[in-house]
């Protein structure tokens, strides 16, 4: 295994941005300290063709100039997904956040973690190599309370697994919800639609939402609407037309008690033979089928069309600060936030 650091660009502040490429015997991935962003994942097909299976930009400029989405490959926080009304109440105080998604806040507001530079340290374990990123989100940043020390670690091991771990510590009660926003297309050609990918979601329920995608608080059984039933793998496109606006919903993972990690999703792409298994210790996974990708610039001058990539964003529940019946997303002083996700790749 090996890791290589290269220059990725320079910010207007003069700060240097680097790209880290980690390789094992079979595959590789690259990540930059600008937004802890995964820029590529190179995986073989069943025929041995090594291709990039994630969407993104060809250079740093694309990541700098994208505003309001699509958040290709980015680390998202302080609170991923949406907070309804761009506000929440905590300890009898109401906090006002950026209104950047209709009347709501999305992915941290106008300047999310995807636009912030992190310190980086190359690390190596017995069977893995990667990078650990750190920064401190100051009290009041994005409107959230508390100084938050953030640690983001991405590793590649010899078993063709990408290990993602997010840790945080605070000096004041604060909501925390971290995720990674990588868009996948396992065909290796991001011109292709994702509808033939076969998806399994280990979820008996999903969160019902309002028209602007804010949870109502209801956990809806997938038995009520078979379009949301992915407990047995099926093509993403099979029931897609039945879902108004397409899939952009948080599924409630069937967690296994006592297990640190639970398999929450599996994806198989038949033409390439590539498979991806997703495991996490988080309560939810946002399945987003890329419906808003139309017109988004991509790698090598490509202009994306809707549904050319999908996301599986493991996370706390969206709008959790405003729902007492959701798992608590509040981190207290003296506690450690620890979110883990593993992406396991194979090809047949």
181 catalytic? Reply is yes
> Cβ atoms within 10 A of the Cβ of 36, count?
31
pLDDT of residue 258: 73
| 22 vs 204: CA distance, rounded Å | 36
pLDDT at residue number 71: 97
pLDDT at 67: 87
**pLDDT value, residue 257:** 78
At residue 128's C-alpha, the angle toward residues 124 and 131, to 5°, is 55
- Name the residue among 113, 42, 108 with its Cα closest to residue 74: 113
Token pair in block for residue 75: 């680390």
pLDDT (tens, 9 = 90+) of the chain, 348 residues, equals 999 999 999 999 999 999 999 999 999 999 999 999 999 999 999 999 999 999 999 999 999 999 888 999 999 999 999 999 999 999 999 999 999 999 999 999 999 999 999 999 999 999 999 999 999 999 999 999 999 999 999 999 999 999 999 999 999 999 999 999 999 999 999 889 999 999 999 999 999 999 999 999 999 999 999 999 999 999 999 999 999 999 999 999 998 877 799 999 999 999 999 999 999 999 999 999 999 999 999 998 899 999 999 999 999 999 999 999 999 999 999 999 999 999 999 998
Domain locations along the chain: 2-347
In whole angstroms, what is the distance from residue 334 CA to residue 173 CA?
A: 10
For residue 256, the model assigns a pLDDT of: 82
Residues whose CB is less than 8 angstroms from the CB of residue 88 and which lie 6 or more positions away in sequence, other chains included = 94, 95, 97, 175, 321, 322
Q: Can you give the pLDDT at residue 301?
A: 87
In angstroms, the CA 229 to CA 60 distance is 38
Assess whether 313 carries a catalytic annotation.
yes
Give the E-state strand segments of 63-116 in sequence order: 75-76, 82-83, 87-90, 93-96, 105-106
Q: State the distance between the two ends of the chain, measured CA to CA, in whole angstroms.
A: 23
**pLDDT score, position 138:** 98
Catalytic residue among 181, 197, 304, 323: 181
pLDDT for position 119: 98
Nearest one of 147, 152, 198, 136 to 38, comparing CA atoms: 152
Cβ proximity of 150 and 157 under 8 Å: no
Give the residue among 325, 320, 261 at the shortest CA–CA distance from 286: 320
What are 27's two structure tokens?
Answer: 């595959």
Q: Which of 51, 161, 198, 313 is catalytic?
A: 313
Q: What is the topology classification, in CATH, of domain 2-347?
A: Beta-galactosidase; Chain A, domain 5 (2.70.98)
Strands 284-288 and 2-10: unpaired
Q: What six digits make up the tokens of 247?
A: 């899939």
Q: Which residues contact 308 (CB under 8 A, 6 or more apart)?
A: 55, 185, 190, 191, 192, 193, 194, 290, 293
- Residue 171 in tokens: 């000096």
Cα distance between residue 229 and residue 316, in whole Å = 20
Please, which residues bridge with residue 200 across strands?
A: 266
């Amino acid at each position: 295994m090996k890791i290589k650091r290269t220059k990725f660009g320079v910010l207007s502040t003069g700060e240097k941005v680097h790209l880290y490429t980690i390789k094992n015997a079979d595959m590789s991935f690259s990540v930059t300290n600008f937004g802890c962003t995964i820029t590529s994942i190179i995986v073989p097909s069943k025929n041995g063709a090594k291709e990039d299976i994630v969407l993104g930009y060809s250079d740093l400029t694309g990541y700098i100039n994208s505003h309001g989405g699509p958040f290709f490959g980015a680390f998202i926080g302080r609170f991923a997904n949406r907070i309804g009304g761009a506000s929440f109440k905590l300890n009898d105080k109401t906090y006002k956040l950026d209104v950047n998604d209709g009347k709501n806040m999305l992915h941290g507001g106008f300047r999310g973690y995807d636009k912030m530079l992190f310190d980086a340290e190359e690390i190596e374990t017995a069977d893995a190599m990667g990078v650990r990123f750190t920064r401190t989100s100051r009290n009041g940043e994005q409107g959230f309370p508390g100084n938050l020390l953030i640690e983001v670690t991405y590793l590649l091991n010899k078993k063709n697994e990408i290990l993602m771990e997010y840790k945080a510590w605070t000096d004041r009660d604060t909501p925390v919800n971290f995720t990674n926003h990588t868009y996948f297309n396992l065909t290796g050609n991001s011109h292709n639609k994702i509808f033939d990918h076969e998806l399994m979601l280990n979820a008996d329920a999903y969160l019902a939402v309002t028209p602007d995608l804010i949870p109502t608080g209801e956990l809806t059984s997938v038995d009520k609407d078979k379009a949301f039933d992915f407990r047995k793998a099926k093509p993403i496109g099979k029931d897609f037309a039945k879902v108004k606006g397409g899939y952009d919903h948080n599924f409630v993972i069937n967690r296994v008690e006592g297990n640190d990690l639970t398999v929450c999703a599996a994806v198989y792409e038949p033409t390439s033979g590539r498979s991806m298994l997703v495991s996490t210790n988080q309560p939810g996974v946002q399945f987003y089928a890329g419906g808003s990708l139309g017109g988004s610039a991509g790698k090598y001058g490509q202009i994306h069309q809707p549904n050319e990539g999908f996301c599986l964003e493991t996370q706390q529940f969206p709008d959790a600060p405003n729902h007492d019946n959701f798992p608590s997303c509040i981190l207290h002083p003296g506690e450690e936030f620890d979110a883990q996700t593993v992406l396991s790749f194979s090809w047949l």
